[in-house]
Amino acid sequence: MAENLKQRFDLTGKVAVVTGASKGIGEAIARGLGEFGATVVVSSRRIEAVQSVADQLTSAGVQASAEAAHMGDMEQARTLVDKVVARHGGVDIIVNNAATNPVFGPMMNADESVFQKIMAVNVQGPLELCKRAVPIMRSRGGGSIINIASVGGLNPERMLGLYSVSKSALISLTKVMAKEWGGMGIRANAICPGLIKTKFSQALWQNDQVLKQALAMAPISRIGMPQDLAGLAVFLASEASTYCTGGVFVADGGLTV
């Protein structure tokens, strides 16, 4: 372990996989990890989208590559790890950022297929991806798993009930990962963003009433930006956080205080 604090943030030699990295939070985290030296694999459903991100990161001096994978397809989630190992020789950091929310409204209006889709992408996919990666991480001396949950997983959000349920499950899954895999040197932590200005949350921050209410309630009265999550992710991925596992880190401008 590096003694110098600055050195403990260095990710040189580490291979990081970031799902849902074609834009928004995933892209910002991938860029941050790369800036601190990690080789970054950006992944999303469409190869064209993540290849564009990988090209931009490469142009900025980051070692990056792209792999397509749909996190709602368990075989694709598992195969993603195999592709990363084949190309880069291993995996040390996983950021489970890919998520879906195909319904906005009361749970009563959602049918069974909607619930299954949300849980598959937001919970089961991350689990299968990590299960495949754990033996590889263990063989490399350990690793870091960062699950991007939501403040909705702590306090269910109106009209986002099923999404909130899935993020609550992801937080619980993070804690189980931490307990079961800690002895292998593998840490697992969750980040719970508040309202972040991304395409995913566009329906919320473009709603003047929702935005006004959020800004009025939060001590830091501005909407969050994707890059606001990058520093926290770098910390959790690095040796600077080696005593942190099973943690739930909130980044919401103080909204839930």
- Supply the CATH number for residue 203's domain: 3.40.50.720
Cβ(174)–Cβ(133) under 8 Å? no
Assigned domain for 150 exists:
yes
CA distances in angstroms from 246 to 172, 178, 233, listed in the order given: 9, 5, 14
Helix H or strand E encompassing 96: strand 93-96
Segment 87-138, tens digit of pLDDT: 999 999 999 999 998 888 888 888 999 999 999 999 999 999 999 999 999 9
Cβ(44)–Cβ(154) under 8 Å? no
Assigned domain for 257 exists:
no
Assigned domain for 137 exists:
yes
Assigned domain for 227 exists:
yes
Assigned domain for 256 exists:
no
pLDDT of res. 203: 61
Assigned domain for 243 exists:
yes
pLDDT of res. 102: 83
pLDDT of res. 125: 98
- Number of structural domains, the chain? 1
Segment 39-49, tens digit of pLDDT: 999 999 999 99
Assigned domain for 22 exists:
yes
CA distance 150 to 164: 8
Token reading at 68: 């397509």
- The torsion region of residue 145 among left (phi > 0), alpha (psi -120 to 50) and beta comes to beta
pLDDT of res. 135: 98
Of 166, 141, 140, 138, the residue nearest 153 (C-alpha): 166
Cβ(138)–Cβ(185) under 8 Å? yes
What percent of the chain has a predicted confidence (pLDDT) above 70?
95
Q: Tell me the longest C-alpha to C-alpha distance in the chain.
A: 55
pLDDT of res. 179: 98
Residues with a known catalytic role = 163
Classified as helix, coil or strand, 125 is helix
Residue type present at position 115: F
Can you give the residue range of the structural domain that contains 121?
Answer: 5-251
Of 79, 98, 81, the residue nearest 89 (C-alpha): 81
Residues sharing a CB contact under 8 Å with residue 62, sequence separation 6 or more, in sequence order? 31, 34, 35, 40
Cβ(45)–Cβ(69) under 8 Å? yes
pLDDT of 205 over the 60 cut: no
What does the DSSP 8-state code read for residue 120?
A: I
pLDDT of res. 201: 60
pLDDT of res. 159: 82
Assigned domain for 138 exists:
yes
What does the DSSP 8-state code read for residue 252?
A: S
Token reading at 75: 């075989």
